[in-house]
Amino acid sequence: MQKALFFLGRYDVDKGPPEHRSATSLVVRAVDHEAADDYGKLFDEFDKDGSGTLDSNELGALATKLGTNVEILKLEDGQSYTRKAFVAKCQRLFGKERKVVLKIFQVEEQWRNEKRGRDDQQLDARYVVQTIPAPTDDEFAKALGETNLFGEGVGSRAIVMDAANRNLFQIYQSERPDLNKVRMLMQQVMECVQHLHEKRLVHGDIKMLNVVRLSLDNRLRLIDLDAAAKVSRHDGDYVCAKFSSAILPPECFAKLNADQVTKFEAYFEGVDTELREKVAPKTKHGASYVVKTFSLTDDGAPKIDGLPYELVEASVAVDYWSLGALLFQLVAGEPLVPSNRDDDCVNAKSMAILASWNDHAAKKNLAVIKDAAARDLASKLLVRDPDERAEFSIADTLAAHPFFKPPKPGDVATQEKLDKIIEQQEKDSKKLDAILSLSEKHRDELRQTRSTLMRAIYEATEVSTPTAFVVLKERLPAGEASVELTLNDDGTGFVVEGEAVDEAKDRYEESKTWLNLCARFGRGVAKCSPSAIAEAVAGACEELVVGEEMWLYLIDELTGKPVVPEGESIYPIRITKPAEVVSKLLPAMQVGLHAASLVNGVAGVVRLFGYPCPKVPEAWREGAQNSVEVLKQESSVEAFGAVHEKVQDGGEETETVRGAALRELEAFYAKYDPDREYAGLRRIGDPSDGTAVWTLLTDPEEVKAAIEKRAAQRRAEARRHDERFQELMDNAEAGAPAAATTPAMPIAAAGGGPSAARALASPRR
């Protein structure tokens, strides 16, 4: 009578909350009241000769079906089991009423994937928790369709496994393992992973919740093979059909632009709400990050069409990264990146950390690990390059790495190996201290710098007008000036020739003066120095604001040229009181100069001022190059344009340096261009970086080519930053002081290198 109350007439399901619930599965604990009958049925099934006994040779396949390893059932030589003895042995090992978990799949293909991985590879019960005797798949499907015991829409497929006494997260939380215990735990996990890899399987979701301890022998085993993927040189699987994003390596993330986000969302249209929330892009500062996940057809093939990225082929490198994240959490006491209870990234920032991971990030983040050997092991696992990561060897590591083989008294060789690791880590630490002293020791100052940038320039109003412009002392001539570069006869360089040489020199000299002033302005911003900013503004008024009128020209941001309208136009705008107006417009003018510097260096900047040639002679260039290098720094300019973003919390002062700057710019346009003609410029989106630009170009091919050029120049600039940053690190390692940088990188030196510069910057919209 009581069995009628049990699920499927045998499982007494726990009344409490489920053991685990995710977007793809539900795991509940239960007591199997039919287990004792299964023991006897198994004996009968494997007693092939009907002798009523089982000897050692007959136990291997039986143990697999029982869900355990044969060593547990081992007999002395010459002994055998009777049916009664075998049932009694099983009841001692597993209980007369066996404690189990039911894993119910909401996505049928993931059930197939788990079954396929287990059945095809014949996984060892010493390393992977096995399925155990249970009702048939059809019986499960029928029963799940008829019950509300597990809620609505839980799926129709399930497997049954032995219940663990604890998972690794519970072990960590409750038992607080010391370093020696962590060594033992990591060794067992690595042995489990090694077994999977020997079977040509990648687990794909190694995390604390998927590592459990069975009371049978108190050893750790892996669970959850529904994310597993087959490794093959010719016909392998893809990873990330199921995922936990916070433990994934960099190659599993994609950064999407607006069009790609639309494509991604269309691909996953129609999936259930919980799954849609899990895969949804996470966005910050206009950048959207996703895991390179995918859905499956009914026959288990990946649906590739419609995805805005290439899928990631299964590789042991994916599991090695997850092992590194697991080790980090065990020894550092916190996850590698902020994550939720399902080990998914909590926000776009967490995803961005993983997606942009590099050697510098590894050294910085792993510095929190105090044990030198543990830190060294983590650094070998948390490597950005998947090919390099794939070279890691679990067998060699378990056999010889100082983390698993700490030196004993008198063990000179191991101690020397550990000493070398410590020596290298001390060098790395010194490099970080030298290069990143500002970002490490003065984080409050960095936040204050961002606050000063935001509040000093654009306060709290959204940009809806062009911000790229120049202010000139004289009007530019209509049409193209006749100027060209001619190669010297001796091949030593170029000279400027043509009708407008004098005009070209004038335009160049005026642009260089503005450029030097803006560089001073940029240095003041980088130092978070209101006095330096004010000095640059005053300098502009003294050196350039002369006479009774000046002229404001808008800039086409894709061509880099000032807009000189043909025929009647309110542009260029005549400024009749330049001393009052120009100082208020200088910060906004800085933005346009910055953008031009990224397009074509010195030549890009001087073209804004009407310089009529695509290149600048080397003799002219020398006087402006350093100022352009300052101007290129993202931290000196780019945050000015991100006025729609809120200032990060953390100690910002409420007083402003020049909080009315944007209002002055908008008021200026409202006065002189009330119809918002903007000299014919139109606002378009740049899909390469998510920003908006103003241009006269209308031909789609011309626009595309110009945008591609911008993107290429930005990539080149990023590479230049990284090269210079590496040079600084090399100098620091050699003993040179971090501050002793060339004038070409004053901002990076002040802000802690490229990463700190980018942390200060916000994309201009």
The model's pLDDT over 575-620, given as tens digits with 9 standing for 90+, comes to 877 766 666 666 566 555 655 555 445 455 555 554 444 444 444 4
Q: How confident is the model at residue 218 (pLDDT cuts 50, 70, 90)?
A: very high
Residue 76: both structure tokens together: 């002395």
> So what's the pLDDT on residue 671?
81
Residue 302 — φ and ψ, nearest 5°? -70, 140
**Residue 553 clears pLDDT 50, i.e. is over it:** yes
- What is the rounded average pLDDT for all residues in the chain? 75
Q: How far is the C-alpha of 420 from the C-alpha of 372, rounded, in Å?
A: 10
- Print burial letters for 262-271: b (CB count within 10 Å at least 16), e (below 16): eebbebbeee
Q: How confident is the model at residue 517 (pLDDT cuts 50, 70, 90)?
A: low
> So what's the pLDDT on residue 360?
85
253-257: average pLDDT: 95
* Tokens 């029963």, residue located: 143
> So what's the pLDDT on residue 207?
97
244-266: average pLDDT: 95
> So what's the pLDDT on residue 58?
82
70-75: average pLDDT: 84
Alpha-carbon separation of residue 246 from 208, 319, 384 (angstroms) = 12, 13, 15
Q: How confident is the model at residue 623 (pLDDT cuts 50, 70, 90)?
A: very low
Q: Which residue has the higher pLDDT, 643 or 613?
A: 613
> So what's the pLDDT on residue 643?
28
Supply the angle between the helices 35-46 and 59-66 in degrees, to the nearest 10. Answer: 150
> So what's the pLDDT on residue 739?
42
> So what's the pLDDT on residue 732?
54
Closest listed residue to residue 377, CA positions, set 427, 325, 428: 325
> So what's the pLDDT on residue 407?
75
* Tokens 């002395």, residue located: 76
Q: Which residue has the higher pLDDT, 470 or 101?
A: 101
16-34: average pLDDT: 88
> So what's the pLDDT on residue 502?
57
Amino acid at 386: P
> So what's the pLDDT on residue 649?
32
How do 682-686 and 691-695 pair as beta strands? Answer: antiparallel
* Tokens 């687990």, residue located: 203
Helix (H) or strand (E) holding 330, with range, is helix 316-332
**Residue 324 clears pLDDT 70, i.e. is over it:** yes
Q: How confident is the model at residue 569 (pLDDT cuts 50, 70, 90)?
A: confident
304-316: average pLDDT: 95
**Residue 42 clears pLDDT 80, i.e. is over it:** yes
Task: State the alpha helices, DSSP H only, in 403-561.
Answer: 412-435, 437-441, 443-457, 501-526, 530-543
Q: How confident is the model at residue 556 (pLDDT cuts 50, 70, 90)?
A: confident
Q: How far is the C-alpha of 537 from the C-alpha of 489, rounded, in Å?
A: 44
**Residue 102 clears pLDDT 60, i.e. is over it:** yes
Q: How confident is the model at residue 315 (pLDDT cuts 50, 70, 90)?
A: very high
Q: How far is the C-alpha of 420 from the C-alpha of 585, rounded, in Å?
A: 57
**Residue 7 clears pLDDT 90, i.e. is over it:** yes
Q: Which residue has the higher pLDDT, 27 or 638?
A: 27
> So what's the pLDDT on residue 292?
97
Q: Which residue has the higher pLDDT, 613 or 159?
A: 159
* Residue pair 532/757 in contact by the 8 Å Cβ criterion: no
* Residue pair 317/176 in contact by the 8 Å Cβ criterion: no
Q: How far is the C-alpha of 25 from the C-alpha of 16, rounded, in Å?
A: 17
Q: How far is the C-alpha of 757 from the C-alpha of 450, rounded, in Å?
A: 11
**Residue 372 clears pLDDT 50, i.e. is over it:** yes
Q: How far is the C-alpha of 38 from the C-alpha of 90, rounded, in Å?
A: 10
**Residue 9 clears pLDDT 60, i.e. is over it:** yes
> So what's the pLDDT on residue 519?
59
**Residue 311 clears pLDDT 90, i.e. is over it:** yes
Amino acid at 396: D
171-176: average pLDDT: 93
Candidate ranges 116-130, 279-293, 560-574; pick with highest mean pLDDT? 279-293
What is the pTM (predicted TM-score) of this model?
Answer: 0.58
Q: How far is the C-alpha of 651 from the C-alpha of 343, rounded, in Å?
A: 31
Q: How far is the C-alpha of 144 from the C-alpha of 25, rounded, in Å?
A: 13
**Residue 500 clears pLDDT 50, i.e. is over it:** no
Helix (H) or strand (E) holding 116, with range, is helix 108-121
Identify the DSSP state of 165: S
* Cα-Cα-Cα-Cα dihedral sign, residues 709, 306, 692, 289: negative
**Residue 354 clears pLDDT 90, i.e. is over it:** yes
Alpha-carbon separation of residue 162 from 104, 169, 193, 342, 693 (angstroms) = 14, 18, 20, 22, 60
Q: What angle do CA 755, 284, 700 make, to 5 degrees?
A: 95
How do 25-32 and 11-13 pair as beta strands? Answer: antiparallel
Cis ω for the linkage preceding 578 (within 30 of 0): no
